[in-house]
Structure formats: C-alpha cells, structure tokens
Amino acid sequence: MRNRKLLIAVALIFLVSVCLSVCILRHSDRRTVEIVQDGAVLYTFDLNRAEDQEIRVPAADGGNNLIVISGGTICIAEADCPDQTCVKMGELKSDYLPIVCLPHKLIVRFAEGEA
C-alpha cells in the first residue's frame, strides 16, 4: 500500500515536471522584443521587420554586452561579465525564459502585453 502511494506520487511529480518543461521551452509566437537595462526599456524591435544588426549596450560598471539580431532571432553574442551565462543562453525562444545578464542588469525578453 505504501509503495503504491509512493509510486503514484512520483508519477504525478513526473507528469507535472514534463508539462511545465513543455510550457517553458515552447517557442514563442511573439515577435516583439525588448532590451531592458536596470528596469528601463532601451530598445524595442519587431523581429519580423528588424534588419540584421549588432547593438553594443554599455553597463554602469564599464562593461558591455553585444546583442545581435540576425535572421529574425536575437541573442547576446558577447559580454564581458565573468560567468557568460547570458551568452550561453543562445537565442531568445520562450516567453518564460528571457536572456538575462545579472552583472550588467540587462534583460532581453519578449514584450509584455503582446498577443
């Protein structure tokens, strides 16, 4: 009886985890992105219309991030922060998983309120 309850609990946890993973990793239908630093929106782009370009965003600490828009995608290609997490995240794909550079207080995300 106890093993059966444990098995059911593990199965439920597994199913919930799979559902959450699918939601988080699902590609977004949104195409408008924002580049936000320290709470202020610096740039807004429609990826369907934006030309391929590179944007260097300076940080208050003297560092910077290089953001690349290419072929309808956006990513942080270079950063001089120590952990490089923002670069390793790759292209922005999910509504629930923005690209974040904590040392430079920079966020690349899909615009809020867009359908």
Tens digit of each residue's pLDDT (9 = 90 or more) over 73-108: 999 999 998 899 999 999 998 888 899 999 999 999
DSSP output for the chain: -HHHHHHHHHHHHHHHHHHHHHHHHSPPS--EEEEEETTEEEEEEETTTPPSEEEEEE-TTS-EEEEEEETTEEEEEEE-SSS-HHHHT-B--BTTB-EEETTTTEEEEEPTT--
Task: Note the pTM of the prediction, 2 decimals.
Answer: 0.75
CATH superfamily ID and name for 29-110: N-utilization substance G protein NusG, insert domain (2.60.320.10)
Q: pLDDT digits over 6-64, tens only?
A: 888 888 898 888 877 776 666 666 679 999 999 999 999 998 888 999 999 999 888 99
